[in-house]
Chains A and B, each alone.
Chain A
Amino acid sequence: MFNFENFEIKLDTDVIGRNFIYCEEVESTNAELLNEENGIDIDGTVLLAEKQNNGKGRKDRKWYSAKDQNLTFSILLKRKISERKVNLVNFAAALAVSYTLENLFQIRVNLKWPNDVLIGHSKISGILIESTIRGSKINKLVIGIGFNVNQIAFQGSYIIPPTSIRKELNQEVDRERVLSDLLNNFEDLLNRVDENPEGVLNDWKDRCRMLGEKIMIQDENYSKSGIFEDVDEQGFLMLRTDRDTVEKIHFGDVSLR
């Protein structure tokens, strides 16, 4: 069971998580916040579910998480976000998870473009951001975060092997403390996306060990390889291809070659 008092006492934000919705079971926390019929409209709302029946990732991939053991939640942003900076929210979310792992547990992370958080080669957190855009204005931005906290056994097959904080430390940790710390970090990072986007990009690059390496980017329609040279000011991946030209990559699964 989630202890609200322990969560709130550590929450040090102005907006993020101040409106907090707790659900035992939903289809998907992102879908709940995106659904207009639910009438959830407050900037910074956090919706946490103990169990997602249809937790999703990119391209409708599934996110499996054991009930009551991890953190599966979504954050609603209704504030004005420039279309040119919106991709940096991906980095802000991955960094919020990273700071929590580093500051509370001294765990070193490895970030994978665009927003996976790995420990070594295992995935501890996945992020999926969804927005609704009408008439070229962002109406809603929903940041879905799955964070493996206390789960030890992971059954089934995974594209990237999973891990959790408990697996890394061999001890159970306080989910409430993890969530409040993560939300504190995220609010701070959102402000930095506005005021100092270069700083956010540099923090992300400092934790990305694939930078400068030979990588492969794949999707069902294409596969490209080259050197992961840099990320541009919008967060797009700059790939130096064999033909010695630099291409901007907007999406795809990145792996080391």
Chain B
Amino acid sequence: MDLELIKKLVKLIDSSGITDFSVEEGDTKIKISKRSSGSHAQPVMQPVSLQPEESSPKREMPALEKTAEARPSNLHEIRSPIVGTFYRAPAPDADSFVKMGDSVTPGKVLCIIEAMKLMNEIESDVAGKIVKVLVENGKPVEYNQPLFLIEV
């Protein structure tokens, strides 16, 4: 291949508005790409492509924060008044007192907490919908531990 021909082609393309050029002659192939400063082209491109990705989670974040802020206002927590064991049903083979999605009224029994041989029926003090059961059946609970989330 004629080196002078390549030099000429480079000069010609550099001074033109052409960014990509290729020519084939027999089994010789010349490909010239003009992307601002050559090998730096890719790293330059990357931040450009990243920018929209970065901005999309940024746009979601405020949305998440908004729902987190909204929680205390319409979600009521039922907490354990005593230390004991949490039961969702009155007997081992019985149905649960309540499940997710159930509507409850004040006085509705939600669970039993057993301490020694004292079975404490925990009643709802609000009307609303059970959105979360926070403790597994048969697990120990501490004073003031959240048990249920109720949407009021």
Binding site for B on A (CB under 8 A): 34, 36, 58-60, 83, 86-87, 89-90, 113-115, 127-139, 220-221, 234-236, 250-251
The residues of A that contact B122 with a CB separation of less than 8 Å are 133-134
Contact with A along B30-66 (1 / 0, CB 8 A): 0000000000000000000000000000000000000
Minimum CB distance partner of A221 in chain B: B138
B14 within 8 Å of A (CB atoms)? no
User: Which of A89, A113, A220 is in CB contact (< 8 Å) with B92?
Assistant: A220
B11 within 8 Å of A (CB atoms)? no
The residues of B that contact A235 with a CB separation of less than 8 Å are 116
CB distance from B119 to the nearest CB of A (A): 5
Tell me, in angstroms, the Cα distance from A58 to B84 when the chains sit together: 14
Considering only CB atoms and an 8 Å cut-off, how many residues of chain B contact the other chain?
A: 27
Q: Report the 10 A-B pairs with minimum CB-CB distance, sorted nearest first.
A: A114-B116, A136-B81, A135-B125, A60-B91, A129-B118, A134-B123, A131-B120, A132-B121, A130-B119, A87-B116
Tell me, in angstroms, the Cα distance from A59 to B93 when the chains sit together: 10
The residues of B that contact A220 with a CB separation of less than 8 Å are 92
Contact B121 A90 (CB under 8 A): no
Q: A134-B123, A250-B116, A250-B140 are in contact. Are A86 and B82 (CB under 8 A)?
A: yes
- In terms of DSSP, what is the predominant structure of the interface of chain A? mixed
The residues of B that contact A87 with a CB separation of less than 8 Å are 115-116, 118
Tell me, in angstroms, the Cα distance from A115 to B117 when the chains sit together: 7
Q: A114-B117, A133-B120 are in contact. Are A251 and B125 (CB under 8 A)?
A: no
The residues of A that contact B85 with a CB separation of less than 8 Å are 250-251
B107 within 8 Å of A (CB atoms)? yes
Tell me, in angstroms, the Cα distance from A220 to B115 when the chains sit together: 16
The residues of B that contact A59 with a CB separation of less than 8 Å are 91-92
Minimum CB distance partner of B85 in chain A: A251
List CB contacts (< 8 Å) of B87-101 with chain A: 90-92, 94
CB distance from B150 to the nearest CB of A (A): 12
The residues of A that contact B138 with a CB separation of less than 8 Å are 221
Contact A131 B91 (CB under 8 A): no
B13 within 8 Å of A (CB atoms)? no
Minimum CB distance partner of A114 in chain B: B116
B106 within 8 Å of A (CB atoms)? yes
Contact A133 B107 (CB under 8 A): no
Contact A131 B121 (CB under 8 A): yes
B129 within 8 Å of A (CB atoms)? no
B83 within 8 Å of A (CB atoms)? yes
CB distance from A60 to the nearest CB of B (A): 4
Tell me, in angstroms, the Cα distance from A130 to B120 when the chains sit together: 6
Contact B118 A131 (CB under 8 A): yes
The residues of B that contact A132 with a CB separation of less than 8 Å are 109, 120-121, 123
The residues of B that contact A250 with a CB separation of less than 8 Å are 83-85, 114-116, 140
Known: A87-B115, A220-B92, A250-B116. 18 other contacts (CB 8 A): A36-B107, A59-B92, A60-B91, A60-B94, A86-B82, A113-B116, A130-B120, A130-B121, A131-B119, A131-B121, A132-B109, A134-B107, A236-B115, A250-B84, A250-B140, A251-B114, A251-B115, A251-B116
CB distance from A45 to the nearest CB of B (A): 18
The residues of A that contact B106 with a CB separation of less than 8 Å are 134
Contact B119 A133 (CB under 8 A): no
Tell me, in angstroms, the Cα distance from A137 to B117 when the chains sit together: 19
User: Which of A129, A133, A236 is in CB contact (< 8 Å) with B123?
Assistant: A133
Tell me, in angstroms, the Cα distance from A250 to B125 when the chains sit together: 26
Contact A83 B118 (CB under 8 A): no
Minimum CB distance partner of A248 in chain B: B83
Q: A59-B91, A135-B125, A220-B92 are in contact. Are A90 and B117 (CB under 8 A)?
A: yes
